[in-house]
Amino acid sequence: MIYYKSEEEIDLIRKSSLLVGKTHAAIASLIKPGVTTLELDKIAEEFILDNGAIPAFKGYGDFPNTLCMSPNEQVVHGIPNNKPLNDGDILSVDCGVLKNGFYGDSAYTYEVGEVDSEVRNLLKVTKESLYKGIEQAVAGKRLGDIGFAIQEHAESFGYGVVREMVGHGLGRKLHEKPEVPNYGRRGKGIKLKEGLVIAIEPMINMGTKSIHQHADGWTITTADGDFSAHFEHTIVVRKNKAEILSSFEDIEKY
């Protein structure tokens, strides 16, 4: 069952999503060689709690922390740890919060120090793929149009589009119907209607699309060990143009 949201509900999801953006901004300038993902996680957790919200991922299943922190070949769901980041790393940070009964969810992949131009291009194309998908999230289009646009753009650069992990509806739950794949066929899938709130989140690999699940039960890495990037916005389907509820604006000031 898909829950289409009222304007009042969308307003609350927007507030949660903007807090996610502010949380990202709170750690963005600190992401540099030498810092550990656990340090960043602590800062994010305090920031979320100080803003009257609850970290959405901590305790989801048995996930132990506030942020999913996935460096380099980790695709998503990496667990923060005590290992310092290195110059040339990339770090996917996924953040979710629950406030006033509604979730917000957004991910961004950061450069750590000086990153190879090839890797920078992976980040650029992954973010572009996200916006190509969002362009399709308009009433009257179909779910497959979103996945098609993302896939077409990423694959045109020879990158692998992860199949097993997908975007999702959200609202009173972190994961609601429908699933939002980052691949698909034009004109296929459910028809998009106004008030549908979804997280679109391409996970794009430099090489193979295949992934590997680690023994910790969470961490997903690329099967070939090559880098992977992840960008995510929470959006609402509107008549002529999707409205992006989360924001990278504060992140990109740094």
Of 31, 56, 107, 166, the residue at the interface with Mg ion (CB under 5 A) is 107
Is residue 199 close enough to count as binding Mg ion by CB under 5 A?
Answer: yes
Is residue 211 close enough to count as binding Mg ion by CB under 5 A?
Answer: no
Is residue 176 close enough to count as binding Mg ion by CB under 5 A?
Answer: no
Q: Residue 230 Cβ, how far from Mg ion at the closest point, in Å? A: 8
- For the chain, what is the HEC assignment? CCCCCCHHHHHHHHHHHHHHHHHHHHHHCCCCCCCEHHHHHHHHHHHHHHCCCEECCCCCCCCCCCCEEEECCEEECCCCCCCECCCCCEEEEEEEEEECCEEEEEEEEEECCCCCHHHHHHHHHHHHHHHHHHHCCECCCEHHHHHHHHHHHHHCCCCEECCCCCEEECCCCCCEEEEECCCCCCCCCCECCCCCEEEECCEEECCCCCEEECCCCCCEEECCCCCEEECEEEEECECCCCEECCCCCCHHHC
* Comparison of 12 and 86: residue with beta carbon closer to Mg ion: 12
From the list 5-13, 88-96, 139-147, 207-215, the region that binds Mg ion by CB under 5 A is: 88-96
Of 94, 110, 123, 166, the residue at the interface with Mg ion (CB under 5 A) is 94
The count of chain residues that interact with Mg ion, using the rule CB under 5 A, is 5
* Comparison of 113 and 130: residue with beta carbon closer to Mg ion: 130
* Comparison of 132 and 168: residue with beta carbon closer to Mg ion: 168
From the list 48-56, 102-110, 125-133, 153-161, the region that binds Mg ion by CB under 5 A is: 102-110
Contacting positions for Mg ion (CB under 5 A): 94, 105, 107, 199, 232
